[in-house]
Structure 1
Amino acid sequence: MAAFGWFWRAMGAQSERNQKKSLKTVAAARAAMEEMRGWSDAQVAQRGREAANTQGEGKHPVVLASLALAAERTMGLQPFDVQLQGVQRLLAGDVIHMATGEGKTLVGAMAATGFAMSGKRVHVVTVNDYLAARDAQWMRPLVEFFGVSVSHVIDEMDAPQRRHAYACDVVYAPVTEIGFDHLRDNQVTRREDEVQVHADVALVDEADSVLVDEALVPLVLAGSVSAQQSTGEITAAVSHLREGRHYTVDADRRNVFLTDEGAAEIERRLGIDSLYSEDAIGSVLVRVNLALHAQALLTRDVHYLVQDGKVQLIDASRGRVADLQRWPDGLQAAVEAKEGLAVSDGGRILDQITLQALMSRYPTVCGMTGTAVEAVDQLRQFYGLTVSVIEPNVPSQRIDHSDAVYATAQLRNRAVVEEIAQAHAKGQPVLVGTHDVAESEALAAALEKRGISVAVLNAKNDEQEAAIVAEAGKASRVTVSTQMAGRGTDITLGEGVAELGGLKVIGTSRHRSSRLDHQLRGRSGRQGDPGESLFFVSLEDDLITTGSDGAQVSAQPDQAGRIEEKRVHDFIAHCQRVTEGQLLTIHAQTWKYNKLLADQREIIDERRASLLDTDAAWQQLAQAAPERAAELEHLNAETKQQAAREIMLFHLDDEWAEHLAIMDDVRESIHLRAIAKETPIDEFHRIAVREFKDLAQRAVEKSVETFRSVLIDDSGAHLEDAGRSRPSATWTYMVSDNPLSGGGGGALSTFESFIS
């Protein structure tokens, strides 16, 4: 507990009491284990189930003891006290902070089994298919020891396979698959067509990534529609604009604004009278702003890649291609047009849900990560979750050096290369964390020029991840990687490396969030291994220019250009705190936009459930159109009820999709409300409430009209013949609402100067 004493003091007395209580529970569990050690497997399992289903604090030691014995007997794993402490805090509903390499997979499986023994269905939420399948198979013997069923869900499964998997007590699944299955289930017209079963607990691996970094990423279900209008003409017009003359960019390079001269230039090139006329403001101006955003703020090989003729987004927190992810349709189309690619069809959005709203559907949410402490505020503010720190089993031996600070990016970059070269010369393996693809490739080229062989792990080759990471701890290895968060693989030291100081982690600049710094740093010094970490910073980094609020700091560099003054280091820490505060503000503001739609979605869910589970649809339509109901008297009750159900669900879902389209348009143009001195969020809420107010009634009225006219016979309602069919094809993707959510590092393009 000593290493995190500052944390417990900051979090208050309640957190410290929880810490002491869990340690006491673990001690009691060890005593119970000795008592149960001679019991048969069946007796241990039975006692564990009995304890899990009793009330009161006294049950926890017995539950932990039975889980620990099961781990020993089925997998040959003997949980450490800190792992049992982690299980206890998960069962209490906390997010636990456990360092890399401390055995979170076993801890999560034991906690999931503990929940399941008490009759709760558990979703163990992972960040990808590989981890879901691996962990479910790996932990299966432990889970099944107690008669608890376990399964996993991955992308390649069909509906029957998913339905079978979700019926199990413990289900391992990527958060995206859980969300997409939820959206698809919201389109069914028969309850038996759903694949998911209600779950009581979400146990989230990489909790800060899912619950914070990607919390506001909307998961989208789209249906086929005709292709959207080309944005080529507007993109061509915008390409002639020049920064400072035709448009300006704010200090943190998150927003871009047309000048009067820029607006006039666009009007001339498009042949329109005014960008700000009532006719243009809702369509042309929005598309001009999106094209300008794509040109001025989004950079190839930083925010996205172009591969195989497609724009592929980069997950800033993981440094990988973000599979299935895209920007909102207008911005996606603008970037595609900017790159000279065919503009893809985004389709009509049928439904969507953010990860934050998805997680809020679970009665209990808990989780684990190596960097929970830095996300305390977000986890508490948005989920009401408490963080519990679990000390490492063996104290960390890693040496975390003070930042190497330089006045300019060029001086810093030279120092980075020199530091890597020195470590490499003595055989010490080096892992270098960069911020984007362009930076990683420029640095690798600079090192290759020095005769240093480099393995590069970035969004262009993340399929080679396992092989690259497996070699990263061997002597003389130099690995250059974009973000290491969520990669799911520990770096093991090679022979003789410990004597050389262990793995050396180098950060080419600080991130906008200290959490990402710690995720990189945590790759070294696992399970008590020796190791080092060192971050480089220049006063020209984005982090400094963004977080300084315009303030400047004078410094006196040494002959090599390095700055040692404490006040400069304090200034850098201040800038990082400022940018972290900005990110929290953005999260809170974005959630305000999403929360109202989430609340409206719950109303639609309730309405759908009523239509699916009762005969309300038939009763309502028969009452509104009794003459039509009389014509159908010869049909059996089940056929009539299902026909009415399909009619009403079609129009309810159709109106909801239309509502989402309207609000998407409002969201893209809401900043224009500031021109009229209106508060954008207040105006968004006013429009959302107004548009939603009559949604249900419109759906009913259209349902009655369809009920009167559509053919209904022994085979049901022929909605397709009446032009009321659901999309012939649907697909899912994620929308990056925050295309500039990068790590906020430094301008490392000057590495290229070492190559020329």
Structure 2
Amino acid sequence: MAAFDWFWRAMGGSAARKNHKRGEHVAAQAEATREESARLSDEELRTRLRQGDDGERLAALAEASRRTLSLDPFPCQLQAVQLILGGDVIQMATGEGKTLVGAMAAVGFAAQGRRVHILTVNDYLARRDAEWMRPLVDFFGLTVGAIDESLSREERRDVYQRSIVYGPVNEIGFDVLRDRQVTAREEEVQGEVDVALVDEADSVLVDEALVPLVLAGAAPGEAPTGQITDIVRDLVEGQHYEIDDERRNVFLTDAGADRVAAALGVESLYEGEDAGSTLVHVNLALHAKALLIRDIHYVVREGKVQLIDSSRGRIAELQRWPDGLQAAVEAKEGLRVSEGGRILDTITIQALMGRYRTLCGMTGTAVEATDQLRQFYDVGVAVVERHKPLARVDEADRIYATMAEKNQAIVEEIRRLHATGQPVLVGTHDVAESEALAEELEDLDVAVLNAKNDDEEARIIAEAGDVGRITVSTQMAGRGTDIRLGGADEAAYDEVVAKGGLAVIGTGRHKTARLDHQLRGRAGRQGDPGRSVFFVSLEDDMVVAGGSGERITAHPDADGRIEDKRISHFIGHCQRVTEGQLLEIHAQTWKYNKLLTDQRAIIDERRARLLDTDLAWEEFQQRAPERAAELADLPGIAEAARSIMLFHLDEEWAGHLSIMDEVRESIHLRAVAKETPIDEFHRIAVREFKDLAQRAVDKSVETFESVPIDEEGAHLEDHGRIRPSATWTYMVSDNPLSSSGNSVFSGIGNIFR
């Protein structure tokens, strides 16, 4: 009983238990009325959804699903729908039908007159699910659409007006940023938001919570010169620079600083008129050299640096590092340095979620993210039992003394399983590892899925359960395609079942157990047989980082394998340490972001007043009465006044972001003066923001009195007040779950030492 009580406390206490019990009760009610619902006409079902009690509504949704999609929801799926409608994030195992659950819940919300955004992890899933579930939505007289990168402004506006909108979370966020730049309400595409139903909720809400989505405008970017890049390329770790134990920060030694200074022909990197700029460029080049590794953090494809989303193992579309660091990596690789851009606005995914009145979602691994979901979003977690009992066998870790011995054992195990015809899925941590493993197995037919070929994802994953298949994949989270035993058409299902189902091999524990469970969950779908095992070495990054400073003695056998419960417990301890580190990084980073998010809300309120009223014109009449009197009879003068004031408000906000970005990059230096960095950051942010709105008004008045204004509006460009002629969107890699060196806050933010 004590363990049961602990579980509910972890889930969020009595409220979580109450919602879970209600979900079970309503699902049971729906099951009891299924036969009756089957006898109803289509119109009667529609009436039931609008006017029935909760059980009747669920039953109506279930019967409509059967009629339109030929999918008959299981009782566990009905329970999941009710839990989502109650505002929970639900955990459902892989293959249990989350796509249908999400669509049914969205229809349930939309039938109440609420507008629903179903947030996915990529364009493909948004398009696929919107089309797949369209018949169910249409049945109830509702509308559905999908947002993707290719849509025009007009097409986006049309989709956002529909009852249910599927879209990648980043595209939804980018539309928010673009809407924040409009000078008239009719230019907005998104409008008011209401319900966010997040697919792969832990991946989006936790792993990517602090990824900043950025809107940039054309401006020259800064990058290390070719000379600095060449000098830094020859520096030696341990002699000229050092990297911390977590491989997140790098800094020059005295010898390194002297060597670089001599090569540049300056007396010191830390003194002189251009010292600040030079030191920034040196550290950018050093960060690119030491912490950002090709085929681990990025790939080079078609002459471009493309970042790898380490939580999913695929190319991070539209993602880049801050301009200076992006340029440093391009220079390191000998590529053309891309144009920089002034940041006009930014929003984190966590802040984006805060815009919705209701936040809910679904995933296969929510329990391990309960603390983060409750702490940062105030949402509960509910576990939905499987439709069929789990038949997968999860073996104990196979632990080895060295990485070389572990890798050899992995290759031997893959060959052994392949000889039996059992399909094997191998989960690796990065592109380099997946390709090295495939090379070791080059005599076999190995399908490799990583960031270099993720466009082939659906085909590779769909066939991974066929007889004798070997699939080597980087991180499996959010892949969105089930692995069916016997291949995509399940033609060899019985044969694969007889061989034991899909075998999953992990080449090392992840920094959080949740990612391990996501990989394990690819086997044992819908009661199918399967097995999973992780290979771990004492040299693995997670073990080294989590066990830093602890001495452990082990006694491996002739093959390097360690069978000692103490060591197994030590591995678990290391993972819990890294999980704690990630949570702390998230909490600390959010503290830096939270104040700017609150300040942006103030700007949004000011913008809304300017857009929806004649406030700008009224202020000009008060502050510049003579000029206002001259223009009082001019058609469209209120719109012209609005455009001037919005221009300066947006300019001041962009300037504020630039200032705070510089502060954040050097804030750790405050610790040298015995000041708390986060407190000092907040003090500066409050000080800089205090007069922002007033500065915008003052500059607006100056512009109002000086620029030509006629029937066509205010000619701001005549006085150099020009909005960027080109803008683009991208994501800054600022992910606490990323591999070493891939967090802006803990990486680039701390290289100045």
Question: Normalized against structure 2, the TM-score is what?
Answer: 0.94
> 1:626-662, CA deviations, whole angstroms, 9 ceiling, x for partnerless residues?
11111113313xx000000000000110111111111
Structure-2 residue corresponding to 1:160:
154
Q: For 1:426-437, what aligned pairs fall within 5 Å after superposition?
A: 426-437=420-431
Structure 2 unmatched runs, 5+: 487-491, 742-753
Contact 1:511 1:743 in 2 (8 A): no
> 1:301-323, CA deviations, whole angstroms, 9 ceiling, x for partnerless residues?
11111111211100001111111
CA distance in 1, matches of 2:50, 2:592: 44
Shift of 1:469: 1.3
Contact 1:429 1:476 in 2 (8 A): yes
Structure 1 unmatched runs, 5+: 52-58, 745-756
Contact 1:316 1:743 in 2 (8 A): no
Shift of 1:691: 1.3
Shift of 1:144: 2.1
> 1:706-752, CA deviations, whole angstroms, 9 ceiling, x for partnerless residues?
100111111111112222121111111110024881299xxxxxxxx
Shift of 1:37: 3.1
AA matched with 2:546: G
Structure-2 residue corresponding to 1:677:
674
CA distance in 2, matches of 1:422, 1:27: 46
Q: Any idea what SS the aligned residue of 2:33 has? A: helix
Bigger mean CA deviation after superposition, 136-145 or 351-360: 136-145
1:308 aligns with 2:308: no
Structure-2 residue corresponding to 1:540:
539
Structure-1 residue corresponding to 2:626:
627
Contact 1:189 1:645 in 2 (8 A): yes
Structure-2 residue corresponding to 1:253:
247
**Would the alpha carbon gap of residues 367 and 649 (structure 1) be closer, same or farther in structure 2, given more than 3 Å must change?**
same
Structure-2 residue corresponding to 1:21:
22
Bigger mean CA deviation after superposition, 623-632 or 239-248: 239-248
Bigger mean CA deviation after superposition, 13-22 or 351-360: 13-22
CA distance in 2, matches of 1:277, 1:672: 17
Contact 2:221 2:323 in 1 (8 A): no
CA distance in 2, matches of 1:525, 1:4: 25
Q: % of aligned pairs identical?
A: 67
Shift of 1:330: 1.7
Structure-2 residue corresponding to 1:699:
696
CA distance in 2, matches of 1:134, 1:305: 27
CA distance in 2, matches of 1:241, 1:339: 16
Q: Any idea what SS the aligned residue of 1:357 has? A: helix
Structure-2 residue corresponding to 1:381:
375
**Would the alpha carbon gap of residues 142 and 400 (structure 1) be closer, same or farther in structure 2, given more than 3 Å must change?**
same
Structure-2 residue corresponding to 1:595:
594
CA distance in 2, matches of 1:674, 1:10: 35
Q: For 1:9-408, what aligned pairs fall within 5 Å after superposition?
A: 10-11=10-11, 12-51=13-52, 59-228=53-222, 230-277=224-271, 282-408=276-402
AA matched with 2:353: M
Structure-2 residue corresponding to 1:752:
none
> 1:123-172, CA deviations, whole angstroms, 9 ceiling, x for partnerless residues?
01111111111111111121222222211111111011111110111111
CA distance in 2, matches of 1:84, 1:251: 48
Bigger mean CA deviation after superposition, 133-142 or 317-326: 133-142
CA distance in 2, matches of 1:482, 1:465: 11
Q: Any idea what SS the aligned residue of 1:79 has? A: coil
**Would the alpha carbon gap of residues 688 and 279 (structure 1) be closer, same or farther in structure 2, given more than 3 Å must change?**
farther
Bigger mean CA deviation after superposition, 735-744 or 336-345: 735-744
Structure-1 residue corresponding to 2:705:
708
**Would the alpha carbon gap of residues 281 and 119 (structure 1) be closer, same or farther in structure 2, given more than 3 Å must change?**
farther
AA matched with 1:44: L
Shift of 1:275: 3.0
Work out the number of aligned pairs and report it: 733
Structure-2 residue corresponding to 1:424:
418
Contact 1:317 1:743 in 2 (8 A): no
AA matched with 2:286: L
Structure-1 residue corresponding to 2:718:
721
Structure-1 residue corresponding to 2:660:
663
**Would the alpha carbon gap of residues 473 and 36 (structure 1) be closer, same or farther in structure 2, given more than 3 Å must change?**
closer
Shift of 1:346: 2.2
**Would the alpha carbon gap of residues 672 and 267 (structure 1) be closer, same or farther in structure 2, given more than 3 Å must change?**
farther
CA distance in 2, matches of 1:261, 1:515: 43
Shift of 1:271: 3.1
Shift of 1:4: 9.1
**Would the alpha carbon gap of residues 719 and 271 (structure 1) be closer, same or farther in structure 2, given more than 3 Å must change?**
same
1:568 aligns with 2:567: yes
> 1:568-612, CA deviations, whole angstroms, 9 ceiling, x for partnerless residues?
100000000000111111111111111111111101100100000
CA distance in 2, matches of 1:254, 1:717: 49
Shift of 1:552: 2.1
Structure-2 residue corresponding to 1:518:
517
> 1:360-388, CA deviations, whole angstroms, 9 ceiling, x for partnerless residues?
11011000000111111111111011110
Aligned partner (choices 413, 421, 428) of residue 407 of structure 2: 413
Shift of 1:179: 0.5
Bigger mean CA deviation after superposition, 568-577 or 129-138: 129-138
Structure-1 residue corresponding to 2:746:
none
AA matched with 2:687: R
CA distance in 2, matches of 1:95, 1:363: 15
Shift of 1:411: 1.0
Structure-1 residue corresponding to 2:651:
654
CA RMSD of aligned residues (A): 1.9
CA distance in 1, matches of 2:681, 2:391: 52
AA matched with 2:468: S
Contact 2:296 2:432 in 1 (8 A): yes
**Would the alpha carbon gap of residues 126 and 740 (structure 1) be closer, same or farther in structure 2, given more than 3 Å must change?**
closer
CA distance in 2, matches of 1:491, 1:742: 27
CA distance in 2, matches of 1:584, 1:739: 8
Q: Any idea what SS the aligned residue of 2:40 has? A: coil
Contact 1:205 1:368 in 2 (8 A): yes
Q: Any idea what SS the aligned residue of 1:557 has? A: coil
1:473 aligns with 2:465: yes
Shift of 1:412: 0.8
> 1:424-458, CA deviations, whole angstroms, 9 ceiling, x for partnerless residues?
0011110001111111111101111xx32211111
Structure-1 residue corresponding to 2:476:
484
AA matched with 2:35: E
CA distance in 2, matches of 1:207, 1:581: 20
Structure-1 residue corresponding to 2:748:
none
CA distance in 1, matches of 2:396, 2:31: 41
CA distance in 2, matches of 1:375, 1:717: 51
Shift of 1:30: 1.8
Q: Any idea what SS the aligned residue of 1:497 has? A: helix
Bigger mean CA deviation after superposition, 594-603 or 28-37: 28-37
Q: Any idea what SS the aligned residue of 2:441 has? A: helix
CA distance in 2, matches of 1:516, 1:574: 16
AA matched with 2:350: Q
> 1:658-713, CA deviations, whole angstroms, 9 ceiling, x for partnerless residues?
11111112222223333333322222212211111111111111100110011111
Bigger mean CA deviation after superposition, 288-297 or 436-445: 288-297
Shift of 1:34: 3.4
Question: Normalized against structure 1, the TM-score is what?
Answer: 0.94
Contact 2:207 2:737 in 1 (8 A): no
Q: Any idea what SS the aligned residue of 1:697 has? A: helix
Shift of 1:6: 7.3
Contact 2:667 2:677 in 1 (8 A): yes
Shift of 1:278: 8.0
